Structures are given as structure tokens and as C-alpha cells.
Structure 1
């Protein structure tokens, strides 16, 4: 059975498509609109080949621009592969120049080369997708509110020599409105989580862990697809940029072991905030922080390790179907 590898370069308005056969020969190169009609035209063009042939659709993860394509392929029960753009770029070796048609060919070539290693992608369920969008909107509101707060400090300095009452009052009003909007968004996130029993069950479990609050739990639920996308916490720590990697080569290069910059910065920031809270309110982690500090470890290094412990605890309570138990308090109670 022949296999055709379909590489798709996605942009906001158009899709550039390149179809390769088993012998790396271009069968078709076309450009369609990123609309329902355009995607149907692309699928029909790919179906014109031998009816018994296998077709592998592959494209980069471009955020919201590729959502319509994903939905239409899933509705037709067609498997597809969505891959990080950086992974495709690094797999190509030295490159010179680029355009949409060339990118589509490179994606198809990537799909052919790594077809045995790729796993079909599936969109998250509607509740998780809704929570993800609400978290994104909340983050936007927080950024705007922070800008207003910083400008308020600036105008306060200006008020020492000039009348800026109107500006100060207006900024204060906007900050108050943004506070209300953030609260409303958080309520909607909670409503979405409560609407799905499986998601709410895991949410309740992980929020019992000291240092894991509402925001941390919501991000963990979304990014792990309700703890189904990662096989173990070690892989998630690598994704979040918490896992340290050595940098050595022979006897001449002995770099410092440190975390990678290829990471999800948002979840790392959220986990760091939770870890800073955990070393205050969790007896075990508080003692761990104190012990490492006495050993001369840097604050951020210790907090990074505490983040890893929090991730392990969250995965444990979900996988074991058991609530979190504070061992320090348990041992004190038993003694």
C-alpha cells in the first residue's frame, strides 16, 4: 500500500500544501484558503490518489490558526500530526531561505522521515479548551492591570508638581473594573471545571497539595490534558523547564548543570509562585528548604527542586486515586 505524506504550512488566511510519495517525489503543490471550502478542496485533492493508499497529514502547531483544520480532519475521522515548529526546523539541518511553499515541502519531508515516531494529535475536549481560553484571557487582563498600576505610580510622582487628579481617578476606576473582570473570569473557569466530573475530581485532588492553588491546578489540568498527555512527572518537569541538564564535552567543556530555556514559561512561573508558598505552609518542604539553604544552595535552585516535588505530588494523587497525605503531620499524630 502506497503512502502519501501531506505537509501543510498554515497561515492566517491560506494553507500551502505539498504532497510527497514514498520516493520523495512531489505529487501535488497547491494553495487554498484557510476556510471550510478551502480545506474541503485540499482533502478532496488528496483523495484523488489511489483509494487504498494511506495519507499522513502533518503541520506545525500554529495556535488558533490551525484549529479549523484540526476540527475538520477529526470530523472526517482522519488522523493527523501536529508538531512544534522548532522540532521541524531543527530536524532539517542547514537551511537557506524560506517561503510558504518550501515550508510545506519541508513539513512533508519531516512527516516522511519521522512517520514511525509520530503520534496522532487530538484536540482537547471542549471543557479543557474553554478553560484554556479563559486562562489566556485572564492573563491578558492581568497584564493590562499591571500596566495601569505601574502608570498610577508614575502619575503619583507627577502629582507632586502638577494636577493629575483626573488621570489618577480614571486609572483607579479602570483597575477596579479589571479586578472585577478577573474575578468573573476565575468564576467561569471554576464553573467549567465543575461541569465535568472527571476534571473536577482531579482538580479537587491536586488542590489538596500545599502550594497548589486554584490557578496552578487549572493550568496543570489544561496543560496535561487532565493528566493524560504525560506518561510521568519527569516528562512534565522537562516540558516545564524544571529538569536540570548537564553541559559537558570531553575534558575541556564542563558547563554548569542547569535547566533548559526550551520550556513553558507560564507554567514555570505559576509553579514557582506555588513553591514559594509551599515552603512557608508545608512543614516537610519548609524543613527541606532550610536544610538546603544551610548547605549553601541558591534560593532559586531550591525553589526549582520544590517545584519538581509539587509536580510529583500532583501526579501521584491523580494516578494512585488517593488523596494527598501530609506525612509530617501524620507521623506527629501517630507518635
Structure 2
């Protein structure tokens, strides 16, 4: 089926959009609208009149919450759309000079028309998953603030050896305790949210039993896999997390060690490394593997990376079957 492709550059207040055809990639329409409900609906109607009711495939970059309203309206009107990683569009554009919102919209439209074989229709996550994403983001902010307060509290204790700082130290203690309560309450709300969604609860109850996986790691895996709908292969998810090593060779002169890619989800990789360290301490099978590899001369961080990969394989294995996880090393 022949499509017209609409590239949209999303910003906080406005949307720049361009429409091109698939054959010669000519720009047929270049306009701007507000990033509001009325503005988005007006854009859709204008494009439909321009292409005379033929099929349109919308394409725009992942921009977090700025593009959420656009995706919601397109999905509610059963329009076909794809959210694409910005790095993919940048790398495909070749050598470019200059940048503006209208130019970016044209580049996105041309990208969609050129790489139509790579485009996959996007579907918004469920309301429960989107709410969980917001809660995890808020919790991350609270944890960062609490860490800053704890560091400042330690500095105050050192300073108090020279200057009286009792009042300030007590203030920091109260603030740290306040954020401890906030974080605990938020974690309880995340558990309640998971329990209210049957699909999330079934997956959560399975993967939480894997040694090393805690509440936040389990919730993050459910979020980024969209409850194992976006990823059905542990190898692909390891690649997304930055755990999969890649070869780096060229001819006979360039031969470097295999290493992971810098294109990764850093937060998720950090959580999985924490999970790996926990598994090394509490899972005898993993602990034996870790000790054997380090004695063979493997770098400690490389072995931890391999353990994190093993944990993902276990998570996907238990999520894709009806049987519960069994730790044979116990």
C-alpha cells in the first residue's frame, strides 16, 4: 500500500510538520500548529484534505511527555504512526548543515519515506504502565534529592567539629526522614498499581522471584518491555540495556576487545548491575560462576556484566512460561 509520510518535529508548545510522497520524496506540505488538542486535530484535517483521504503514516521522534498528547490523539483516531529514536534519524541523514524546526520536520518525513521498511507502527503503553513510569520518575527524583541531603549532612557533621552546627544537622535529619517516608509511600503505590492490573501482576509475581530482582528493577523491566510486548527476545533486551558485547575489528590491523555499546539505557543498566551484585551474594550458582571467571583472569566488571545478562535470560524465561521460578542452587 502506498502511503504519504508526515514528519513532525515536536516541541513543548508547537508542532512543525511536513508531508512528502514515497516516490520522489517531494515535500507537499510544510506547516506549523500548536501542540494542543485543537491544533493536532486541525493538522490531521489539513493533511487529509491535502492528500485527498489517502493513507498517511505519521512519524516523529521520542520526545518524552511532549509527544504524548500527539500519540494519544493519533491512536484514538486510528491513524498509523511511529515514534523513532532521534539518533536513528540523525545517523540516517548523512552530512547535514544547519538546523531548524521546519528543516527537522522535512528530514523526519524524508526518513520515513526512505526507510519505510524499517518503520513499525507504535502503540501507546497501557494507562497502568504510563502511571508506573511517572511514579518511577518521581521516585528517582526523590532518591537523588535524598542522596544530596545525606552528602550535605555528612559535610555538616565534619564542619561541626569546628563550628557549632547542631540546628542545621537536625534540619538535615528531618529532611532526610521526610524523603524516606515519601519514597516508601511511593513504592507502596507502585505495588498497589501493579496489583490492580492483572497482566502486570502476573508478570511481576513471576519475575520478582528471580534472585537479584527487587521491586524497582522488576517495575522498570515491566515498563521498558511494555510487559514483555515490546521485547520478546532476551538478547535484544540485553542489547537495549547495553549488556551485549560487540565485535570491533577491521582487516588485519584493527582487532580490539569486544565491548558493549554506548547506545544504551543507562538507568536500566545500573539497576541490572545492582541486581547482579545481589545475585552474586545470594545465589550460590551465580556466586560459583563469578568466582570461577575471576580466577580465570576475567575482569570483575565483565563478569558482573555477564551475570546481568544471565539474570535477563532468567527473567524472560520465567515470564514466558506458566511455571514459577525455581532456584536450584538453594
TM range (shorter): over 0.9
Q: CA RMSD in A?
A: 1.1
**5+ unaligned residues in a row in structure 1: which ranges?**
330-335
Q: What does residue range 180-329 of structure 1 map to in structure 2 within 5 Å?
A: 180-329=181-330
Partners of 1:204 and 1:196 in 2: how far apart? 12
1:297 Cα deviation from its structure 2 partner: 1.2
Partners of 1:58 and 1:185 in 2: how far apart? 35
Corresponding residue for 2:4?
Answer: 4
Corresponding residue for 1:99?
Answer: 100
Q: What does residue range 120-199 of structure 1 map to in structure 2 within 5 Å?
A: 120-199=121-200
Per-residue CA shift, 1:276-318, capped at 9, x if unaligned? Answer: 0101111110110111111011111111000000000000011
Partners of 1:179 and 1:107 in 2: how far apart? 44
Partners of 2:316 and 2:180 in 1: how far apart? 32
Per-residue CA shift, 1:95-130, capped at 9, x if unaligned? Answer: 111100100000000000111221110110000111
Partners of 1:207 and 1:21 in 2: how far apart? 48
Q: Aligned residues, how many?
A: 329
Q: Give the 3 Å change call, closer, same or farther, for CA 2–307 of structure 1 in structure 2.
A: closer
Q: What does residue range 42-53 of structure 1 map to in structure 2 within 5 Å?
A: 42-53=43-54
Partners of 1:52 and 1:130 in 2: how far apart? 35
1:50 Cα deviation from its structure 2 partner: 4.1
Partners of 2:153 and 2:53 in 1: how far apart? 66
Partners of 2:101 and 2:325 in 1: how far apart? 50
**5+ unaligned residues in a row in structure 2: which ranges?**
none
**Aligned structure 1 segments of 4 or more residues deviating by more than 4 angstroms:** none
Secondary structure of 1:68's counterpart equals helix
Secondary structure of 1:328's counterpart equals coil
1:49 Cα deviation from its structure 2 partner: 2.7
